[in-house]
Amino acid sequence: MSHELPIPSEDSESAAINPIDLVIRYHVRTKHHFNRYARSLGYLDWANQPDPFRRFEGAKLISLPLLMPDEEPVSPAYGAIYQPGAIPCQPVGPKTLSRFLEFALALSAWKRAGESEWALRSNPSSGNLHPTEGYLVLPKIEGLDLDAGLYHYAPKEHGLELRAKFLPDAVAKLLEPFPPHAFIMGFTSVHWREAWKYGERAFRYCNHDIGHAIGAARIAAATLGWNMVLLDAVEQHTTALLLGTNRSEDFIEAESEHPECLAVIWAAPESRGSEGREIPLFLDPVLVTNLTDCPWHGKANRLSLDHAVRWDIIDEAAEASWKTGADKMTIQVTASADRLPSAPLPLATSEVSAGQIIRQRRSAVSFDGKTSISADTFFRMMQLTMPDVALPPGGRSMPWDVWPFDPAIHLMLFVHRVDGLTPGLYFLARDPRKLEMIQSCLNHELNWTKAPQAPDELPLYWLLEGDAKRLAAQVSCHQEIAGDSAFSFGMLAEFEGLLRERGAWWYPRLFWESGLLGQVLYLEAEAAGVRATGIGCFFDDPVHEILAVRELSLQSLYHFTIGGPVEDRRLATLPPYFHLGRK
Ligand SMILES: Cc1cc2nc3c(=O)[nH]c(=O)nc-3n(C[C@H](O)[C@H](O)[C@H](O)COP(=O)(O)O)c2cc1C
């Protein structure tokens, strides 16, 4: 049972003035249906395939050292990243910055099939199109031979391009409210890269990818003992100014970058037992305006020869979800050594290094339809997706400490092959305080039984018994990876109520949260000896019908699947920087 929201007509006044209606309209219009996919070109315009590598021609490129896995800084054990206070904080320098960017956004391998070659990265991306661009705002740092300024990260070169040199004192002033040894990371999206293939639905995928990039960066920071928090009270115009995306003269219009978010990263441990530190989630817009009033360098390279189609609805959704208000929000950050561990269950493979897991992360292209995982592995994965909502956001365990909000995404799970768990449909309420609200949005006849054997604190419920393999594949655009795995799930976001309460700018954030969650499980799957794949293609309303979701109360935003992978042996794998002469 699903109800379609009446779509406001294009010229209706409410649609013109109400951004919330606009993002809802975007969402409804970009649903895939059994008999009709969301609008796209319908074929691949290979002649205009966008270049996945942005460069700023005319901007100075500073190469970062390409580090071998066993070079300093050596990565800690994967398990240590989830143990509060286990990783000593490393100073920011050329090598640590190189490692950070390697684990967050760098190339992780090249694949070759016949004449074709394509690069994979530490962060995954829908269709491997990589719409996300990464930036750093660096102060003058002792031991780092870089000017204070804005740098664009060029993953193919593993280098930083200097877009603008800022006055060191002005950057220091901007960073003053944060702990010492702080810098800023920013992300933008080139919508065109995803729209080229996926048409109107591309705005969703760009935002999933931002969530993955936030997760990849947070975990990369954790391997160095660094902290990271999303500065999500910054007005988007300020983000645009700081990242230079407002400089229309530097971009071809169709390939411009949409400013997404900023995060503060700092390399200073809080002393144990201290009360923590209050940090703002905003930047002073006047300081940013003055800082960026300086000479800029470089023009964005052309990504495609031509842009046959314009998807206006993407621009409309981007504009409607633009964050205008700057709130004076702050959070209290607790010393990591004082936090509680997120997952009391034993680690899957505590010996393997975090770097190894990050480098080997891949999306499975198919599963064997046989491999099962243990109930403990499954429960641990579920635990890692749970922020401890009893604590304030700045006191939660990694990586949820990066996310200054309570969770708004819950999981509807298709359990196929988990030893000791009856196959069927399960539900994880990631914020247990919202259980009643969630239940009221779903079929009232569902039987909410606590999943047998699950750790007490895990709000995991068993809804229906049965073989959901075919159903899972069917609703995931008939992709067998959703049924041949050990389990798959849909991420159900609190939707219309939350958007009406908080504003249209929350629409992208729901995708960011789902991407961040996906990133945690991509890595955890590798650590457990299995593999994951994000699934952006699913039939929206048929998914909702499974649980009889009431109207637009909850909406599935992203699907995900984990199981025993089958390698495609026709593909050769090459080292990530072989093109730069590195083995
Ligand atoms: C948001 C998102 C949606 C995705 N959707 C699908 C999908 O529907 N089907 C699929 O087989 N893979 C999907 N993928 C996996 C990508 O194709 C994969 O990440 C990309 O090819 C890069 O490969 P890698 O993850 O091994 O680095 C998705 C990935 C992301 C991040």
Q: What is the pLDDT of residues 32-88, one digit of tens each?
A: 999 999 999 989 999 999 999 999 999 999 999 999 999 999 999 999 999 988 999
Contact 41, 125 (CB under 8 A): no
Residue whose pair of structure tokens reads 């403990």 in the numeric block = 376
Residue whose pair of structure tokens reads 């050594």 in the numeric block = 337
174, with CB counted inside 10 A (0-12, 13-18, 19+), is: buried
With a 6 Å cutoff on the Cβ, whether 178 touches ligand 1 is no
Tell me phi and psi for residue 302, to 5 degrees.
-80, 135
Q: Measured in angstroms, how far is the CA atom of residue 473 from the centroid of ligand 1?
A: 16
Q: Which of 120, 205, 363, 557 to mutate to test the pocket of ligand 1 (most atoms within 8 A of CB)?
A: 363
pLDDT of res. 70: 95
Residue having the nearest C-alpha atom to atom 26 of ligand 1: 362
> pTM (2 decimals)?
0.97
Tokens of 300: 């964005």
- 383 pLDDT band, cuts 50/70/90, is very high
How many Cβ atoms are within 10 Å of 561's Cβ, its own excluded?
A: 30
Domain boundary assignment for the chain: 91-301+331-337, 366-387+405-563
With a 6 Å cutoff on the Cβ, whether 485 touches ligand 1 is no
Contact 419, 372 (CB under 8 A): yes
Q: Do domains 91-301+331-337 and 366-387+405-563 have the same CATH topology?
A: yes
User: Own/partner pairs for 450-455, CB < 8 Å, 24+ apart?
Assistant: 451/421, 451/426, 452/421, 453/375, 453/379, 453/420, 453/421, 454/379, 454/382, 455/344, 455/345, 455/379, 455/383
Question: Could you report the per-residue pLDDT of 166-177, keeping only the tens digit for each?
Answer: 999 999 999 999
| 190-210 burial: b if 16+ Cβ within 10 Å, else e | bbbbbbbbbbbbbbbbbbbbb
Percent of the chain with pLDDT over 90: 90
* Sheet strands side by side (includes 159-165): 61-63, 159-165, 149-154, 132-138, 182-189, 258-266, 227-230
With a 6 Å cutoff on the Cβ, whether 207 touches ligand 1 is no
Which atom in ligand 1 lies closest to the alpha carbon of residue 522? 25
pLDDT of res. 543: 98
**Architecture per CATH, 366-387+405-563:** 3-Layer(aba) Sandwich (3.40)
Tell me the pLDDT of the chain averaged across its residues.
94
Q: What residue spans of 136-190 are helical by DSSP H?
A: 168-175
Which atom in ligand 1 lies closest to the alpha carbon of residue 362? 26
With a 6 Å cutoff on the Cβ, whether 134 touches ligand 1 is no
Q: Which of 123, 210, 526, 535 to mutate to test the pocket of ligand 1 (most atoms within 8 A of CB)?
A: 535
Q: Which of 53, 124, 77 minimizes the C-alpha distance to 362?
A: 124
Q: Measured in angstroms, how far is the CA atom of residue 140 from the centroid of ligand 1?
A: 38
Q: Which of 107, 126, 543, 573 to mutate to test the pocket of ligand 1 (most atoms within 8 A of CB)?
A: 126
Average pLDDT estimate for 447-454: 94
Q: What is the 3 state secondary structure string of 165-179? A: ECCHHHHHHHHCCCC
Q: Measured in angstroms, how far is the CA atom of residue 364 from the centroid of ligand 1?
A: 9
373-374/56-57 β-pairing: unpaired
Q: Is the pLDDT of residue 465 over 80?
A: yes
Q: What share of the chain is helix, strand, coil (3-state, %, to 5)?
A: 35, 20, 45
Distance between CA 126 and CA 208 in Å, rounded?
A: 8
Contact 278, 468 (CB under 8 A): no
Count of all residues that appear for the chain in the document? 583
Least-confidence region, from 233-237, 273-277, 439-443: 273-277
Q: What is the CATH number of domain 91-301+331-337?
A: 3.40.109.10
Contacts for 112 with CB less than 8 Å, ≥ 6 apart: 571, 572, 573, 574
pLDDT of res. 339: 80
Question: Could you report the per-residue pLDDT of 242-254, keeping only the tens digit for each?
Answer: 999 999 999 999 9
Percent of the chain with pLDDT over 70: 95
- CA 346, 347, 348, 350 torsion: positive or negative? negative
